[in-house]
Structure formats: structure tokens, C-alpha cells
């Protein structure tokens, strides 16, 4: 048996719906600008190739209950996203709904200064994810509808049909740049309607009729 020199933290675990099994999180990859209307609201051209960034696995908040308002920002924003849960051999194991929480003011500054998005995207609780719904590679994601509300008011509502890059396109492109392994989560980009959230806001994100996620900013 391997003896570790320091305590081995182990992966964050996400429950799989309808199963006793847990999904062990490895990398969290994210796609930027994958819906034309959101690319426009961010002031960019929608015809760019997919833009990838990543979050550490520890940013995943599987319980989806309370998320502390992060430090160093006065503009925390929500981005609802379809999340792919990867199995082996770059096959899709399942999917979930997630929220790519973003310190938008730090992202704007990073863009201005030509710096990485690290501080905009990486903080405790930055990637809340619902239970995982197992599926197979033939699943038609274009029929899924994403909807996010803040304190009961709908802020984002869109069809996965409007994604610029499909799940298969994203996986193929990402695998050309980095390793895609079992346990990886891929956030596939957010539709239009991102907005500022504050302490005590209750966020509900769902893939209509399939799976939901609730959390409160504290
Ligand atoms: Mn995003």
C-alpha cells in the first residue's frame, strides 16, 4: 500500500442520482463564450474557437447548500451551465447542472490587464454542481432547457440547442489541448442573463424537468 508523505486529501465526491455511487471529481474544465447572446453581452465575437479555463476540484460544492460570499469582490455573478461528467476514454458518463460563480469585477480587470482569470474564477464554493444524471454518448443534449432564478425571479433561461459548440465538439477540442480523464467535469458555457448576486440571495438552477440545484450565498 502506498504511504503518503502528507495527508492525501482525496477528491470531492458528487452523488449520482438513483445510485449509491459517488462521482469522484478530478479536473473542472470550463468553456467561455459558448452561447452567442452571452458572447455579445460580454462584448466579444461569437465566432471564436472555444476558450477553455479550469477550476480546481476543491471549488466544487456538491452539497449545494450555503456558499460564503467570496473575498476581494463587489460583483459576484452567476453563470448557469450544463455540466458534463466524464467517464473513461473521453466518453460522457453523465450530466448535471452547475453554476460557474465569477468575481466579474476581477475578471474585467484581468481582461484589461491581459492577466489570467484565476482570481475571477477560483475561490471556495465557486463551482456548485447538482447530482449527476447518468447517460450515454447518444444522449441528445439539445433538448435540455437551463433556467436560473435568484430569490424566485428568473434571470437566465435558454436551450442547450443554442450552444455554439456541442458537447461532442467541446470534448474533441479540449482533448486536443489537455488530458480529458474520468472524473473530469466540463462546464459547457453560460447563456445570456448573467447578473450580480449578493449575500442572502437564494439561487435555484435547473435543467427543466430533469435536475435542480439550490444554494444560498451567506
Ligand atoms: Mn462560465
> Which string of b and e fits 101-121 if b means at least 16 CB within 10 Å?
bbbbbbbeebeeeeeebebbb
Q: pLDDT tens for the chain, 218 residues: list them.
A: 899 999 999 999 999 999 999 999 999 999 998 998 887 888 876 667 889 999 999 999 977 789 999 999 999 999 999 999 999 999 999 999 999 999 999 999 999 999 999 999 999 999 999 999 999 778 999 999 999 999 999 999 999 999 999 999 999 999 999 999 999 999 999 999 999 999 999 999 999 999 999 999 99
Q: What is the CATH number of domain 20-217?
A: 3.90.850.10
User: d(Cα 80, Cα 65) in Å, to the nearest integer?
Assistant: 16
Could you list the beta-strand ranges (E) of 88-166.
92-99, 102-103, 127-128, 133-134, 145-150, 153-159
CB 110 within 8 A of CB 116: yes
Q: How far, in Å, is the centroid of ligand 1 from the Cα of 90? A: 21
Give the three cell numbers for residue 190: 453560460
Q: How far, in Å, is the centroid of ligand 1 from the Cα of 144? A: 17
User: d(Cα 10, Cα 80) in Å, to the nearest integer?
Assistant: 27
Q: How far, in Å, is the centroid of ligand 1 from the Cα of 100? A: 5
Neighbours of ion ligand 1 (CB under 5 A): 79, 100, 190
Q: How far, in Å, is the centroid of ligand 1 from the Cα of 56? A: 14
Q: What is the DSSP string of 76-108?
A: EE--EEEEEEE-GGG-EEEEEEEE--EEHHHHH
Overall size of the chain counted in residues: 218
pTM for the whole thing? 0.95
Q: SS3 for 136? A: coil
Amino acid at each position: 500500500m502506498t504511504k503518503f508523505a502528507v495527508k492525501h486529501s482525496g477528491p470531492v465526491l458528487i452523488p449520482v442520482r438513483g445510485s449509491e455511487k459517488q462521482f469522484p471529481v478530478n479536473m473542472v474544465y470550463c468553456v467561455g463564450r459558448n452561447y452567442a447572446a452571452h458572447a455579445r453581452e460580454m462584448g466579444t465575437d461569437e465566432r471564436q474557437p472555444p476558450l477553455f479555463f479550469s477550476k480546481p476540484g476543491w471549488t466544487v460544492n456538491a452539497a449545494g447548500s450555503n456558499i460564503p460570499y467570496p473575498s476581494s469582490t463587489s460583483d459576484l455573478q452567476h453563470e448557469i451551465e450544463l455540466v458534463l461528467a466524464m467517464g473513461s476514454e473521453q466518453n460522457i458518463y453523465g450530466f448535471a447542472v452547475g453554476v460557474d460563480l465569477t468575481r466579474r469585477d476581477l475578471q474585467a480587470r484581468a481582461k484589461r490587464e491581459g492577466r489570467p482569470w484565476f482570481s475571477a474564477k477560483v475561490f471556495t464554493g465557486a463551482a456548485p454542481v447538482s447530482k449527476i444524471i447518468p447517460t450515454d454518448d447518444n444522449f441528445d443534449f439539445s433538448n435540455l432547457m437551463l433556467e436560473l432564478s435568484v430569490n424566485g425571479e428568473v434571470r437566465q433561461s435558454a436551450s442547450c440547442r443554442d450552444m455554439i459548440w456541442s458537447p461532442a465538439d467541446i470534448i474533441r477540442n479540449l482533448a486536443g489541448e489537455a488530458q480529458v480523464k474520468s472524473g473530469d467535469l466540463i462546464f459547457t458555457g453560460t447563456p445570456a442573463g448573467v447578473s450580480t448576486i449578493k449575500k442572502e440571495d437564494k439561487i435555484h438552477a435547473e435543467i427543466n424537468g430533469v435536475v435542480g440545484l439550490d444554494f444560498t450565498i451567506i
